[in-house]
Structure 1
Amino acid sequence: MTRPQLILSPGREKFIDRRHPWIFSGAVMRETGDPHEGDLVDVVAVDGRWLAVGHYQPESIRVKVLSYTTPDIDEAWWRARLASAIAYRRQLGLFNMGLADLSAPNHHSNLTDMFRLIHAEGDFLPGLVADYYNGALVLQAHSMGMYRMLPQLAAWLGEMLGDKLRVVFNKSAATLPDGVGENGFLLGDPCDEWEAHEQGHRYLINFREGQKTGFFLDQRDNRALLSSLSAGRRVLNCFGYTGGFSLAALHGGARYVETVDISKRAIELCDRHVELNYGAAAPHRGVVADVLQYIPSVSRPESDLFDIVILDPPAFAKSHKVLQQALKGYRAINRKALELLPPGGLLFTFSCSQAVSRDEFQTMVFSAANLAGRQVRIVRHLAHGADHPVSIHHPEGEYLKGLLLQVDG
């Protein structure tokens, strides 16, 4: 059966050489075969040469390219791509610890069993995210083409992972057009919470109600860095969600940790995580508040100033249309945090907005430091972990930008 075709305008085929996984509507001269959203379509040059195949969508990004080398997107192709993603995580050592033995008395001493298994364009599967949580897999489709494939992908992944996979949950309702798709279990018995582990900590993952797929897996390496710097320090975790950075600080020996988030439900789960891992007497306080209003209200004696502040806000810029407004928001919270810290204090600051470049983010922090009247040094550039790889053909995949800063005076 002949697939629908998108014929590129003369000269636009040169962009194919860059192998970027997106083909934009401006490059398309005409369409044939009446493609519908999610259909496989062939991309061809004006002279009829086959160039690529991918999933069609009636948007600015017209095609999410699956292959520039073969038009045959069959079961063998899909299995090869899934196997490559799994092999890469095995190479990173992420499967080495196996499933948690919850009956063992010290089962969570150093255990990490949650990570990203498939990272969309970074694994050459644009539109598909898969996160692994101690035997559970959460699939999230960011295109109709991938959404249609989810049941089959769940079955194939079940075969390939064997006893390392017990349940598969589809969480695509929020990442697809309104009214398209529903969240729900594709494999295994439904559950409300699922226990998984990171660097020894026990987390309760709610697939249905949690942010992203249930947890912010991209910050694992940065939480480990915070842990190594927290001994004896007072830590303020802003936009703290369910407490990932807070548990890392407690693990590192922080003498006090405060978690602030506007979501009451998030803080309640954060408090549960703290008690689950460190007991009811842990030196931690959860605060339900707007961070922008809370930081200026913090007034403490010099001896009780926070030594470390973490700013990990939600994406302020979903698109370039709101970039300048987003940068103003980032600048405001970074200025307040820098004003709060004493000399020698550390600031972990992040942006997960794909529309904000690394240079724009650093320039924003420079401006915030000047407005705060603080002298600041960059200790380290921060990013997501190796389980969130970036295709060299798709630099936009480097969405998480961060800086570790020290206030000198």
Structure 2
Amino acid sequence: MNPSPGPVRGSLTDPHRTSGSTALLHVHLKPAAEEAVRTGHPWVFDQGIRKQNRPGTAGELAALYDRRNRFLGLGLYDPHSPLRVRLLHQGTPVRVDDAWWRERLQKAATRRAALFDSQTTGYRLVHGESDGWPGLVLDRYGPVLVLKLYTTAWLPWLESLQSWITGLFHPRNLVLRLSRNIQSLAAQRGAPADGTVLHGPPLDQPVPFLESGLTFEADVLRGQKTGFFLDQRENRRKVESLAAGRAVLNLFSYSGGFSIYAARGGAVSVTDLDLNPHALEAARHHFALNRPQFPNPRTTHHTIRADAFEWLNRAPAASHDLVVVDPPALARQAAERTAALRAYRHLVRQAARLVRAGGILVACSCTAHLRPAEFFELVRETLRHTRTRWRELCLTTQPPDHPAAFPEAEYLKAIYLQAANQPAKP
């Protein structure tokens, strides 16, 4: 990549440009978009653009300007998405070169340096926009790193990304994952496919890693997200602290993370329910791997393959002491909000019916289109219409390795409530 002049000081690293190529893409914003950029919001949508000097290509650096032609910032252009520019820098011009990118990656790593010890080797190293890498996440699973891209804007930068990541972290392997919405576009561009090992020897087995001293395995090539739900670590630890002597039900269990922590916390039984048979097989494997750490040698593990929504309708009442409801995102776009609200109410109402007197309900949401305060109030309001009195124990949001630097990034939330020992009076 060769430096070329632009509205930034010094060289401009851009994989699309060579000496004598087309001028840097200039994007002029409408007033509302100007204000959003000035206040630090990292997204510019297509309807926020007033004009640009020419069509842009995926991954091209776009210089942003206001109505008076004043420089606002610099971002990655994506012509394939309504989210047209993802901001890299806001404010005065900067020198953007290889050293700038490497320093930005180092900052993300330093931010997490004191968060984990040798007992936790699975965590997020880069969390998208909140770490200055919009539309990109980087997760660690022991010696293996997984790079996931959510925009085609990063595809032309893959060679540089590989160099920066391997140069700083020295992983045994670097695996590429692509979000579903860009996989066909990546194929059209001749980019590596989802699950490609960009660096290191071939991988044909799940990757083991530690979380709070427990052993899990991540399917980094084909699993959901980057292979594991790392963002629920703190909630899993909380469930462990509440599980002693309880019969635990883990709805939408995936590979059983909540159940393994509950078993180490002294649960008498744990039940994983999921529709995916491969996830349930992984849950059984994780239970066997970690059994030596369980204080109660008689703790039992059950798996149920079923649709949670349907199963809850016929499940026996007052059958568990701790119920975890952790569904997938029920609204992936704003248009699905109304249906998601209805689904959450149904899940909370039916799951609450299963909780015994003195038991605990943990309700989680990873839907970005539902704000934390709104979700918490939805759960409270739903439970007020049950015959049980509920005491709120705590609220949680995202863990420190998944920071949220702007409102839309606040996707994860959970509320813990305990049922009274006696039903509410009619």
Match among 393, 396, 404 for residue 379 of structure 1: 393
Distance 1:340 1:282, change over 3 A: closer
In structure 2, C-alpha distance between the alignment counterparts of 1:400 and 1:263, rounded to whole Å: 22
Closer/same/farther in 2, CA of residues 235 and 41 from structure 1, 3 Å limit: same
Do structure 1's residue 325 and structure 2's residue 348 form an aligned pair?
no
Match for 2:83 among 61, 64, 69? 61
Residue type of the alignment partner of 2:366: C
**1:327-379: CA deviation from partner (whole Å, max 9, x where unpaired):** 10011011001111122110111110000111221232123213433322221
Deviation at 1:262, TM superposition (A): 0.6
**Aligned mates of 2:37, 2:227 — CA distance in 1:** 36
Between the two proteins, what is the percent identity of the paired residues? 33
After alignment, is 20-29 or 283-292 more displaced? 20-29
Pick from 118, 136, 151 the counterpart of residue 128 of structure 1: 136
Is the contact between residue 167 and residue 186 of structure 1 (CA under 8 Å) also seen in structure 2?
A: yes
2:125 counterpart (117, 141, 145): 117
Q: CA RMSD in A?
A: 1.8
Equivalent of residue 168 in structure 1, options 171, 174, 185: 174
Equivalent position to 1:189, from 198, 201, 204: 201
Shift of 1:323: 0.3
TM-score (norm 1): 0.90
Instruction: Please give the residue correspondences for 1:294-373 in structure 2 after superposition, counting only pairs within 5 Å.
Output: 294-299=311-316, 305-373=319-387
Aligned residues: 387
Q: Does 1:258 align with 2:271?
A: yes
Contact 1:292 1:333 in 2 (8 A): yes
- 63-72 or 261-270, larger mean C-alpha shift: 63-72
The structure 1 residue matched to 2:166, chosen from 155, 158, 166, is 158
Q: Within 5 A, what are the aligned runs for 1:96-245?
A: 96-97=117-118, 111-162=119-170, 165-176=171-182, 178-180=184-186, 181=191, 182-183=193-194, 184-192=196-204, 193-245=206-258
Counterpart code for 2:57: H
Q: Retained in 1: the 8 A contact 2:362–2:415?
A: yes
Name 1:105's counterpart in structure 2: none
**Contact 1:8–1:46 under 8 Å retained in 2:** yes
CA contact (8 A) 1:336 1:372 kept: no
CA contact (8 A) 2:152 2:185 kept: no
**Offset, 1:175:** 4.8
Distance 1:176 1:72 in 2: 30
CA deviation vs aligned residue, 1:106-165 (integer Å, no higher than 9, x gap) = xxxxx2110000000111211110000001100001122223223322222222123xx2
Please list every run of 5 or more consecutive structure 1 residues that lacks an aligned counterpart in the other structure.
Answer: 98-110
Q: CA deviation at 1:177?
A: 5.3
Matching residue of 1:289: 306
The answer to which of 69-78 and 189-198 deviates more is 69-78
Please give the secondary structure, in 1, of the residue aligned with 2:391: strand
User: Equivalent of 1:396, from 408, 413, 416?
Assistant: 408
The more displaced of 398-407 and 61-70 is 61-70
Deviations 1:183-210 (A, max 9, x none): 2001111212211111121112111221
Contact 1:259/1:286 (CA < 8 Å) preserved in 2? yes
How big is the shift at 1:281? 7.0
* Distance change in 2, residues 1:261/1:131 (3 Å): same
Specify the code of the residue in structure 1 equivalent to 2:267.
Answer: A
Shift of residue 26, structure 1, vs aligned partner: 2.5
Corresponding residue for residue 45 of structure 2: 24
Matched, 1:73 2:96: yes
Structure 2: stretches of 5+ with no match in the other structure: 5-22
Greater shift in the superposed pair: 370-379 or 212-221: 370-379
Cα 1:330/1:173, change in 2 over 3 Å: closer
What residue identity is the alignment partner of 1:378?
E
- Aligned partner of residue 232 in structure 1, secondary structure: coil
TM-superposed deviation, 1:296: 3.0
TM-score (norm 2): 0.87
Greater Cα shift, 127-136 or 186-195: 186-195
Query: 1:12: how far off?
Result: 4.9
Is contact 1:142–1:176 with CA below 8 Å preserved after alignment? yes
Note if 1:42 corresponds to 2:63.
yes
Q: Tell me the distance in 2 between the aligned counterparts of 1:13 and 1:272.
A: 52
Task: Give the Cα–Cα distance (whole angstroms) in 2 for the partners of residues 219 and 289 of structure 1.
Answer: 22
Native 8 Å contact 2:59 2:157 kept in 1: no
Report the alpha carbon displacement of residue 28 of structure 1 after superposing the two structures with TM: 1.3
Q: Following TM superposition, by how much is the alpha carbon of 1:278 offset from its aligned partner in structure 2, in angstroms?
A: 1.0
Shift in CA distance, 262/63, structure 1 to aligned 2, threshold 3 Å: same
Q: 1:364 aligns to what SS in structure 2? A: helix
Q: Note if contact 2:173-2:201 (Cα within 8 Å) is conserved in structure 1.
A: yes
